[in-house]
Structure 1
Amino acid sequence: MNDATGQRSLRIPTFDDVLAAQARIAGKAHRTPVLTSRTADEQAGATLFFKAENLQRVGAFKFRGAYNAISAIAPDIRRNGVVAYSSGNHAQAIAHAAHLLGVPATIVMPHDAPAIKAQATRGYGATIVFYDRYTEDREAIGRRIAAETGASLIPPYDHPDVIAGQGTAALELIEDVGPLDVLVVPLGGGGLLGGSALAACALSPDCAVYGVEPEAGDDGRQSLAKGEVLHIPVPKSIADGALSTHVGYHNFPILQDKVEGIFTVSDAQLVETMRFFAERMKIVVEPTGCLAAAAVLNGIVPCSGKRVGVILSGGNVDVATFARLLAAE
C-alpha cells in the first residue's frame, strides 16, 4: 500500500476472523505437526515447540492466508480471477489455492525470485509477470493488472483475510500443546506475526509474542519504535521471504497492541539454524523460516525456563542453494 491507501479506513482483523478462517481452510490446509528436540531445548534453556509450517501445502504457512482470502471473495467477483505480488511463497500459495477453487491467478514476481518458487508457481497454473525489485514497484504493477482485468488483488500480508488465515498456525499450535509463555514468529510484512498475535493473546493471554526480522531489513522494529509504518530501501538478505520494505497497514495496529518486541538475526545465524534443523532434526527449513528459531537458539529472545512456541514458516529453498549455504564455513 502507498501512504494514501494507508490513510483510508481499514478493517483490522480480530480473533473471530481467525476462527472463521480456521473453518474455511479445514480439510484444505494441513494441520502441520509440532516438533520437539531435546538438543534444541538444552541449547535454548527452554522447552521449545516448533510449528512445522515447512510441511504445509506449497511448503509454507502462506497457503492458509491465500486459501482463506480467495474463498472469502463472493463467487461472482471471484470468477474474474485474483492477482498477487510475491517473492515466492505467497505466489505459490495463491496459485495453488486459486487452482483448487477454479480461479485464474496472475502473480507478479521479482526476476531474482528462487527458481524453485517460480517453477512451482507455474506448475500450479498461474501466469507470472516478472519485475525488477530494485527499480520497479510491485504493488503498482499489481494494482494496474487488477484494474485492467477486474481481478481481486490479494497482497502477501496487508489484507485482513490473509492475516486471519495466517493466524490459524498459532491457533493450532496452542490447541495442540496448551498455553505458552512465549511465542516467536518470523516477520516480513507482518501477516503471520499479526495473525499469530491475535491467536496467542486470545488463547494464551499471558503469552509474550515476539517477531524476528533479518538484520538487513528491520523495518518492523523501526516502525514500532517510531509509532508509524516506516518504509526502507529493499533489504538484501538470504531471507528472501522477509525482504519487505514496510509492514502492512492492516497488521500494524495489531503489532502495536499485542507484540512485546521485535528482534533481528544475521544471515550467518540463519545458516547455522538451517544446519541445525538439517543435521539434528532431519528437516529442511528455508532461511526465512529459520528467523524465529535462530533468535531463540542464539539466546536473542528472552525465554530461559519457559514454554516457547516457534513458528517455522517455510521450507522452500532450492537444493543447490541449500547445499551451498550449508557447505559454507
Structure 2
Amino acid sequence: METSLPLVTLEQIEQARERIAGVAVRTGLYRLDVEHARGLGFALPQNLPAIWLKAENEQPIGSFKLRGAYNKVASLTDEELQRGVVAHSSGNHAQGVAYAARAHGAKATIVMPEVAPRIKRDATAGYGAEVVLVGPASTERIQTADRIVRETGAVLVPPYDDDLIIAGQGTCGLEILEQLPEVDLVLSPVSGGGLLSGIATAIKSSREGVKVWGAEPELAGDAAESFRKRQIVEWPGTQTVKTIADGLRTQSLAQRTYNHIVKYVDGIVTVTEDEILDATRLLLTAANLVAEPSGAVTLAAALFHGDDLPAAKNVVCVVSGGNIDPALRQELIEAES
C-alpha cells in the first residue's frame, strides 16, 4: 500500500546532474558483441536484441553510487558538514559517501557488514572514513547507523531512501536517453531500489514508450515479490546473504523507493546464481568490462530471461559497478567456457 510521500521530479534529477557534474562521469554505453562472445564459447540464445552496456564501473569509485551520494552530501549546509555524515552500506554506497565527504572536508562514519568484500571495506577506509563492522543483516547496519546519528548528531546519508539519492541515481537514466535515443528497454539492478527508482523516473518523465525493468537475484528477490504483491515484503538477512551479488542483499525496499517503482517500473525479473556468474564472466572476458556480480544481473536477465521481458530491439543493461573481489575475478577469467 502506497503512502503520500512525494515522488522525485525530473527537475530534481536535472538539478542533480548539474550538482555532480565534474565529479561523477558520463559513463560509456557499449554494444555487446554477441558473436564474439559465442566465439569464446558462451552458449547464448539465438535472436537476441541489440544489447548495450551502461558502464557505471567507470565512475571514480567503480560504481553508480557516487551519483546519489555526492548529490546528497553536496546539498548539505556548512553546519551539517561540520557535524559529519553517517551511512550504512554493503560497500559501494560506503565508498560514494566516503569519497563525497572527503571532497567536502566532512568526517564520514560508515557501517558495513562483516561479510562485505575486503576490496570495498579497504577502499572505504582509504577515502578517509571510519568503518564500523556489524553482522550480515541490513537491518543491523541500519540500526547501528541510526544509533551513531543519535549519539553524535551527524547527518545520515541513506543508501536509497532519500529524494536526493534517488535524483542523483536518476542522472544515469538521462544519459541513457541521450546516448541511445532508440532504446526500447532499460534493465537496472534492484536492491533497496534507489537506482531503479531514479532511472525509471528520469526515463518515464522524459520519453514515452521506453520500458524500465528491474533485475535481482532469485536468492534476494524481495523487490520482485513486493512488486508482484503490491506491498513491501521483507526477506530475512539469512536468506539474502546467500547471493553472490553482495550489493543486492538488501532485505526490502523502502516506502519511498517502492512508491517510485510502483509508479514508473514495468516489471522485475529474477536471475539465478549461475546466470549471474556466467554474465559476470562474459563481461570480463568478452566485453572487457570489469563488473561485479551485482552489476551483471541485468545482463543475466537480458541473455537468459528474454521470454520474461517485453519485446525490444535495443536493450540497455546498467552495469552498476565493477568492485569485484580479485580472487573471484581471477577464478571467473580462468574458468572454461
The interval holding the TM-score normalised by the smaller chain is over 0.9
CA contact (8 A) 1:167 1:195 kept: yes
Indicate if the aligned counterparts of 2:84 and 2:107 stay in contact, CA closer than 8 A.
Answer: yes
Letter in 2 for 1:317: I
**3-state secondary structure, aligned to 1:212:** strand
Deviation by residue 1:43-101 (Cα, 9 ceiling, x = unmatched): 56212221100111200000000000111122222221110000100001100111111
Q: 1:290: which partner in 2?
A: 296
Question: Which consecutive residues of structure 2, in runs of 5 or more, have no partner in the other structure?
Answer: 38-43
| Alpha-carbon distance between aligned partners in 1 of 2:106 and 2:6, rounded to the nearest angstrom | 24
RMSD: 2.0
Distance in 2 of aligned mates of 1:206 and 1:240 = 32
Describe the superposition over 1:268-313 as per-residue Cα deviations: whole angstroms up to 9, x where unpaired. Answer: 1111111111221112110000011110011344355512121000
Please point out which of 233, 248, 252 is paired with 2:254: 248
State the one-letter code of the partner of 1:240: D
CA deviations 1:237-277 (Å, max 9, x no partner) are: 00000000001211111100111111001111111111111
2:160–2:192 CA contact under 8 A, matched in 1: yes
Q: Distance in 2 between matches of 1:159 and 1:146?
A: 16
Mapping 1:308-323, distance limit 5 Å: 308-323=315-330
Partner of 2:41: none
Q: Cα distance, 1:37 vs. partner? A: 2.2
Q: Deviations over 1:159-190 (max 9, x none)?
A: 11111101111111111121421111111110
Runs of 4+ residues deviating >4 angstroms: 40-44, 325-329
Matched ranges for 1:4-15 at <5 A: 10-15=5-10
Higher alpha-carbon deviation: 319-328 or 124-133: 319-328
Matches within 5 A, 1:68-87: 68-87=71-90
The 3 A distance-change label for structure 1 pair 226 and 97 is same
Q: 2:27 aligns with which of 26, 32, 35?
A: 32
Given the alignment of the two structures, is residue 59 of structure 1 paired with residue 66 of structure 2, yes or no? no
Alignment of 1:115-194 (within 5 A): 115-134=118-137, 137-194=140-197
Partner of 1:103, secondary structure, is coil
Name the structure 2 match of 1:306: 313
- Distance apart, 1:222 and its partner CA: 1.1
Q: 1:46 to 1:136 in 2, by over 3 A?
A: closer
Contact 1:36–1:49 (Cα < 8 Å) also in 2: yes
Contact 1:193 1:255 in 2 (8 A): yes
Distance 1:186 1:293 in 2: 10
Do 1:214 and 1:264's aligned partners in 2 also have CA atoms closer than 8 Å? Answer: yes
| Residue 38 of structure 1: how far off its partner (Å) | 3.0
Cα offset for 1:146?
0.8
Q: Which moved more, 1:71-80 or 1:35-44?
A: 35-44
Gap runs ≥5 in structure 1: 1-5
Structure 2 Cα separation of the partners of residues 47 and 286 of structure 1: 22
Alignment partners' CA distance in 2, 1:244 and 1:201: 25
Distance between the aligned counterparts of 2:70 and 2:139, measured in 1? 28
Shift of 1:156: 0.8
The 1:198/1:67 distance shift into structure 2, 3 A limit, reads same
Deviation of 1:325 after TM superposition, in Å, equals 4.2
Separation of aligned partners in 2, 1:256 and 1:283: 32
Calculate the TM-score normalised by the size of structure 1: 0.93
> Is the contact made by 1:81 and 1:152 (CA closer than 8 Å) also made in structure 2?
yes
SS in 1 for 2:256: coil
CA contact (8 A) 1:179 1:204 kept: no
Given that residues 280 and 293 in structure 2 are in contact (C-alpha distance below 8 angstroms), is that contact kept between their aligned partners in structure 1?
yes
Count of residues in Structure 1 that have an aligned counterpart in Structure 2: 324
What secondary structure does 1:139 align onto?
helix
- Name which of structure 1's ranges 317-326 and 125-134 shifts more when overlaid on structure 2: 317-326
Following TM superposition, by how much is the alpha carbon of 1:203 offset from its aligned partner in structure 2, in angstroms?
Answer: 2.3
Q: Assess if the C-alpha contact under 8 Å between 1:12 and 1:251 holds in 2.
A: no
Q: Does residue 217 of the first structure (1) align with residue 223 of the second (2)? A: no
From the superposition, tell whether residues 305 and 198 of structure 1 become closer, same or farther in structure 2 (CA, over 3 Å).
Answer: closer
One-letter amino acid of the counterpart of residue 313, structure 1: S
> Match for 1:23 among 15, 18, 30?
18
Give identity over the alignment, percent.
39
C-alpha distance in structure 2 between counterparts of 1:119 and 1:205, whole Å: 43
Once residues 154 and 7 of structure 2 are traced to their aligned partners in structure 1, the CA distance between those partners, rounded to angstroms, is 22
Question: Which residue, 270, 277, 280 being the options, matches 2:283?
Answer: 277
Distance 1:305 1:71, change over 3 A: closer
Tell me the distance in 2 between the aligned counterparts of 1:67 and 1:327: 36
Report which stretch shifted further, 248-257 or 124-133. 248-257
TM-score (norm 2): 0.91
